[in-house]
């Protein structure tokens, strides 16, 4: 089941939905978008395209993890990206006030329509609704569009990890961000 949140730009419609199950068409489109983003250098952790069965298993697994909430982004009705809200483990009382935004990507053929911003806002709203007051994230230094997006949305750069990832045969830095969503929050 999905809960939509719609918007759009330049004659295209886009929406963001929280996902609790997949239909075959949506899962197939999500796998295609994932591989397209990986090939384009998107920061999804993978640096090489994955077999369809591996991606399907991964996304089904995400739905099984209680601390993860998966959102998909659609452009003109087709799934073209996703993002995850990750809650801290139940035994992490010291960081129970903060959640993470992870694995955000839009397929290269669907960029430029405001969907990444809408997905980020949806994760922020969900985190706020769950009582979190800080949202953390990190990106590769090579993801210039993502860096510009997060900084334009008020995320604060707090550090750089010089040996964050290996991609395209080289080590790249990672940039860490946080955003205060609300005062107080989950304690």
Pairing state between β 78-86 and 134-140? unpaired
Share of the chain above pLDDT 90, in %: 82
Identify whether 4 is part of a domain: no
In a domain, 2, yes or no: no
What range defines the domain where residue 171 resides?
A: 12-180
CA–CA separation, 117 and 113 (whole Å): 9
Q: Look at residue 149 and tell me if it is in a domain.
A: yes
pTM score: 0.91
Residue 17's DSSP bridge partners are 4, 72
Q: Could you give the CA distance from residue 2 to residue 113 in angstroms, rounded to a whole number?
A: 21
User: For residue range 56-96, what is the model confidence (pLDDT) as tens digits?
Assistant: 999 999 999 999 999 999 999 999 999 999 999 989 888 99
Q: Is the dihedral of CA 118, 21, 45, 39 positive or negative?
A: negative
pLDDT band at 10 (very low <50, low <70, confident <90, very high): low
**Total count of domains within the chain:** 1
3 domain residue, yes or no: no
**44: Cβ contacts below 8 Å, ≥ 6 apart:** 34, 37, 38, 103, 105
Q: Is residue 185 part of a domain?
A: no
Q: How confident is the model over 87-136, as pLDDT tens digits? A: 999 898 889 999 999 999 999 999 999 999 999 999 999 999 999 999 99
Q: To the nearest whole percent, how much of the chain has pLDDT over 70?
A: 92
Structure tokens at 186: 């989950």
Q: Is residue 139 part of a domain?
A: yes
pLDDT at 149 over 70: yes
Q: Is the pLDDT of residue 187 over 50?
A: no
CATH number at residue 67: 3.40.630.30
Q: How distant, in Å, are the alpha carbons of 48, 63, 106 from that of 37?
A: 10, 21, 7
């Amino acid at each position: 089941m999905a809960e939509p949140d719609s918007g759009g730009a330049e004659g295209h419609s886009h929406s963001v939905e929280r996902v609790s199950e997949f239909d075959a068409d949506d899962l197939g489109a999500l796998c295609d978008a994932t591989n397209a983003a990986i090939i384009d250098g998107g920061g999804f952790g993978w640096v090489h395209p994955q077999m369809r069965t591996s991606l399907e298993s991964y996304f089904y697994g995400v739905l099984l993890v209680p601390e993860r909430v998966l959102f998909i982004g659609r452009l003109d009705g087709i799934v073209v990206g996703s993002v995850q809200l990750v809650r801290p483990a139940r035994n992490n009382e010291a960081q129970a006030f903060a959640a993470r935004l992870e694995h955000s990507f839009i397929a290269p053929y669907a960029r430029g329509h405001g969907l990444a911003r809408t997905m980020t806002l949806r994760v922020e709203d969900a985190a706020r609704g769950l009582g979190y007051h800080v949202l953390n994230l990190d990106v590769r230094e090579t993801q210039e569009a993502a860096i510009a997006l997060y900084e334009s949305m008020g995320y604060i750069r707090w550090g750089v990890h010089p040996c964050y990832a290996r991609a395209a045969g080289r080590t790249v830095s990672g940039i860490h961000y946080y955003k205060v969503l609300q005062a107080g929050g989950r304690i």
